[in-house]
């Protein structure tokens, strides 16, 4: 965010025309209650110079301005070489940045073309037309499955692959690369291992993993935005292999991040750790929310309530639902042989979320940062086995974690 002048309070808005800090706005836009970001100007001169193109916003015909000239986006070449903005959950694309009352500094960037999956890879039913058919109609949405030893064996193997794919992504995270490049690595690593990247085309999701930067809570879509020094980014990987899914995610530091972000990420890591430590037969699913919520609020953070942990196995998402907030009415107790994820999303500010026009990206309602960690777990007779656990070969990206 540009630092404001000392004399006048920083509004946080940039001039639509030149990018300098803005302290003036178009009165017509105020009257029409149009988004402030498109109506901000540093001076009457810039306003006057932009007027002929700006005024079409009032009649709703102009798309909002694209990223300013010193763009933090890859030079895509005209006309973007097929890179477009995502809409309607991935069912359509547009060359224009959609309108939205953005909650923080982040904006969507164009996304690349759909990646190819070779025919020999075993694919879930949504790979073809974007619509899962088996999953929503399965009994496993109501009953928590006890996995057979054979299924557990497959899950261990798939979780191992998913862990290695995530580690491959972690290794390339640094300032200067795009989230699209992370997606390319995830996609290639998954295919090379013989797996299918489960998110790809799941309810039309356009990419092979979710990359959630800064104020994005989850389901961020990999795009042309370049990661900046100081960002935090979550990479969420799910692999489908030998008929079962494995789901895990981690939040990484991009270059040097501020203390507040470090605290947020570490607290989130600990929330998951503490929840996992309590997993064993007989424990209620609703207890996870109590543990996570208690630890988060001790550090002054809030817990996202819209998304929850879920059963996993031959289905990507199934029973049980595991909310991460306290005082929830989740049904059931843990039993040996169950496999599910716990994936707390913890926010610096408020817990509320909003969804971008792409239909997927969930952001904090106040634009402040959010972090997440996730594991796929197996309940054993005496406790828990973290199927997606870090390996000795996993990159050492968390200063507090034991090697």
Partner 1 sequence: MEPYDDEEPPLAIAIDDVVEDKTTPPSLVEQRDNLRPDLPEAQPVGVTVITGYLGAGKSTLVSSILNGQHGKKIAVILNEFGEEIGVERAMINEGEGGALVEEWVELANGCICCTVKHSLVQALEQLIERKERLDHILLETTGLANPAPLASVLWLDDQLESDVRLDSIITVVDAKNLRYQLESNHDSSSFPEAYNQIAFADVVILNKVDLVSSDDSGVALKDLEKDIHNINSLATIIRSVRCQVDLSIILDRRAYDVTHATHLEALLKENRNLSTSDLHDSGVRTLCISEPKEVHLEKARVWIEELLWDKKYGMDVYRCKGILNIGNSDQLHTLQAVREVYEIVPTRKWRNDEDRVNKIVFIGRSLNEEILVNTIKATLCNP
Catalog residues that contact partner 1 under the rule CB under 8 A: 9-13, 22-28, 30, 36, 40-41, 44, 47-48, 51, 54-55, 89, 103, 131, 135-136, 141, 202-203, 219, 284, 305-310, 316-318, 321, 323, 325-329, 331-333, 349-350, 352, 359, 365-367
150 annotated as ligand-binding? no
Q: Report in angstroms how near the CB of residue 134 gets to partner 1 at its nearest.
A: 13
- Whose Cβ is closer to partner 1: residue 31's or residue 382's? 31
Rounded Cα distance, 76 and 321, in Å: 41
139 annotated as ligand-binding? no
- Whose Cβ is closer to partner 1: residue 46's or residue 185's? 46
- Whose Cβ is closer to partner 1: residue 195's or residue 199's? 199
142 annotated as ligand-binding? no
Beta-bridged to residue 345, according to DSSP, are 372
Rounded Cα distance, 362 and 343, in Å: 15
Can you tell me which residue has the tokens 């909310």?
Answer: 323
Rounded Cα distance, 271 and 296, in Å: 7
Nearest to 303 by CA among 283, 321, 328: 328
Residues in the chain: 403
CB of 217 within 8 A of CB of 345?
yes
> Is the bond into 79 cis (omega within 30 degrees of 0)?
yes
- Whose Cβ is closer to partner 1: residue 269's or residue 325's? 325
Q: Report in angstroms how near the CB of residue 12 gets to partner 1 at its nearest.
A: 6
- Sequence-distant (6+) residues with CB within 8 A of 233 are 173, 179, 182, 211, 212, 213, 214, 227, 251, 252, 254
Rounded Cα distance, 210 and 208, in Å: 7
- Whose Cβ is closer to partner 1: residue 74's or residue 219's? 219
Q: Report in angstroms how near the CB of residue 203 gets to partner 1 at its nearest.
A: 5
245 annotated as ligand-binding? no
Q: Where are the strands (E) in 101-231, listed by range?
A: 196-197, 210-213, 216-218
247 annotated as ligand-binding? yes
Q: What is the three-class DSSP state of 187?
A: helix
310 annotated as ligand-binding? yes
Q: Report in angstroms how near the CB of residue 174 gets to partner 1 at its nearest.
A: 29
Q: Report in angstroms how near the CB of residue 299 gets to partner 1 at its nearest.
A: 19
Q: Report in angstroms how near the CB of residue 40 gets to partner 1 at its nearest.
A: 7
Long-range CB contacts for residues 59-67, cutoff 8 Å, separation at least 24: 63/96, 63/97, 63/99, 64/35, 64/37, 64/38, 64/96, 64/97, 64/98, 64/99, 65/16, 65/38, 65/97, 66/96, 66/97, 67/97, 67/107, 67/109
Element (H, E) at 370: strand 370-372
- Whose Cβ is closer to partner 1: residue 12's or residue 63's? 12
- Whose Cβ is closer to partner 1: residue 205's or residue 398's? 205
- Whose Cβ is closer to partner 1: residue 340's or residue 398's? 340
Q: Report in angstroms how near the CB of residue 169 gets to partner 1 at its nearest.
A: 20
The string over 124-139, giving b where at least 16 C-beta atoms fall within 10 Å of a residue's C-beta and e elsewhere, is: bebbeebebeebeebe
Q: Report in angstroms how near the CB of residue 242 gets to partner 1 at its nearest.
A: 21
Tokens of residue 309, six digits:
């942990």
* Residues making up the binding site for Zn(2+): 236, 247, 310, 343, 374
Q: Which residues are annotated as a binding site for a protein?
A: 219, 317
């Amino acid at each position: 965010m540009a630092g404001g002048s000392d004399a006048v309070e920083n509004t946080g808005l940039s001039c639509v025309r030149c990018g300098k800090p803005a302290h003036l706005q178009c009165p017509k836009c105020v009257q029409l209650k149009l988004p402030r970001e498109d109506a901000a100007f540093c001076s009457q001169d810039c306003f006057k110079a932009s007027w002929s193109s700006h005024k079409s916003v009032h009649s709703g015909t102009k798309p909002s301005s694209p990223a300013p000239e010193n763009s933090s986006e890859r030079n895509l070449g005209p006309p973007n070489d097929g890179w477009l903005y995502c809409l309607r959950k991935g069912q359509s694309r547009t060359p224009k940045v959609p309108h939205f009352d953005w909650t923080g500094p982040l904006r969507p960037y164009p996304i690349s073309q759909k990646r190819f999956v070779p025919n020999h890879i075993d694919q879930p039913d949504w790979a073809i037309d974007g619509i899962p058919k088996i999953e929503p109609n399965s009994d496993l949405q109501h009953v928590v499955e006890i996995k057979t030893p054979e299924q557990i064996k497959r899950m261990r193997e798939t979780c191992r692959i998913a862990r290695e794919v995530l580690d491959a992504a972690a290794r390339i995270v640094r300032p200067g690369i795009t989230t699209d490049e992370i997606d390319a690595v995830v996609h290639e690593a998954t295919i090379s291992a013989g797996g299918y990247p489960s998110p790809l085309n799941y309810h039309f999701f356009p990419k092979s993993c979710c990359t959630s930067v800064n104020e994005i809570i989850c389901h961020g879509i990999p795009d042309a935005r370049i990661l900046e020094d100081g960002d935090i980014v979550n990479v969420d990987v799910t692999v489908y292999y030998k008929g079962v899914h494995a789901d895990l995610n981690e939040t990484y530091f991009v270059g040097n991040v501020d203390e507040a972000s470090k605290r947020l990420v570490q607290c989130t890591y600990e929330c998951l750790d503490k929840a996992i430590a309590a997993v064993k037969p007989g424990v209620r699913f609703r207890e996870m929310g109590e543990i996570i919520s208690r630890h988060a609020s001790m550090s002054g953070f809030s817990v996202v309530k819209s998304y929850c942990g879920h059963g996993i196995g031959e289905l990507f998402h199934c029973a049980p639902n595991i909310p991460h907030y306290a005082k929830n009415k989740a049904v059931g107790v843990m039993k040996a042989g169950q496999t599910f994820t716990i994936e707390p999303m913890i926010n610096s500010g408020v817990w509320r979320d909003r969804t971008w026009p792409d239909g997927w990206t969930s952001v904090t309602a106040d634009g402040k940062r959010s972090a997440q960690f996730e594991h796929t777990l197996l309940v054993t007779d005496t406790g828990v086995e973290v199927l997606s656990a870090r390996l000795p070969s996993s990159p050492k990206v968390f200063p507090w974690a034991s090697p």
